[in-house]
Amino acid sequence: MRIITLNANGIRAAERKGFFPWLSQQNADVVCIQETKAQNGQLQAETFWPRGYHCFYHDAEKKGYSGVALYCKKRPCEIIHGIGWPEMDREGRFIEARFGDLSVISLYLPSGSSGSARQALKFDILDRLFPYLQDISRNGRHYIICGDWNIAHKKVDLKNWRGNQKNSGFLPEERAWMDRLFDDKTWFDAFRLINQEADQYTWWSNRGQAWSNNVGWRIDYQVINHPLKNKVQACFIYKEERFSDHAPLIMDYDYPY
């Protein structure tokens, strides 16, 4: 089973940069998109409903902002639009597809980089997300939670870690939250189960020469629960083309889909 996740930074912008022709060659079973920045009514062109996939969008109320999507080769048993928290759902940050015992979620956690109010919201969401993840880990389902978590977990996960310790995305409290998430061995950073190398980034600032110099952050994840721990086969960050300021994260699982 191949799963791709990408923060598109605007699905219409990604389309103009060649995302959909590339996607048609990837043989992905499920594609998780974040930051679509579009309403359904703005995505009427066939391009945004790629052939061979069942496509589902969850838009933000605010036009041109946030939004998530799922493209699924197999028709899901159920699609869940939203997590049930107004602060998340108004901004279109959660969509879940269920296939038997498997759930695949496209998740876009808030950034706190625009100011203290948004950072406070981010901390509030994290405070609620932790018990939510604990609860669902005990329900017997298998989970792959894909998306832009807007946190670089460890020093190896961003180039300039020394200079970013007071910046949103690498704050001590955010990193400690991820420590708690992964330390009890209920949830796992699927990428790091098989790739421990440095310089593995999924996002680059548009400032300066961050992309050309690979001065990036790894903030896009596929987070899995324990039943999938030994099912990760391969991982790949695609950087040959640029569809966004993020790169697609591609992962293969030994799992019947």
Catalytic residues: 148
CA distance 32 to 70: 5
Asked whether the beta carbons of 104 and 3 are under 8 A apart, the reply is yes
Q: Are strands 203-204 and 216-217 parallel, antiparallel or unpaired?
A: antiparallel
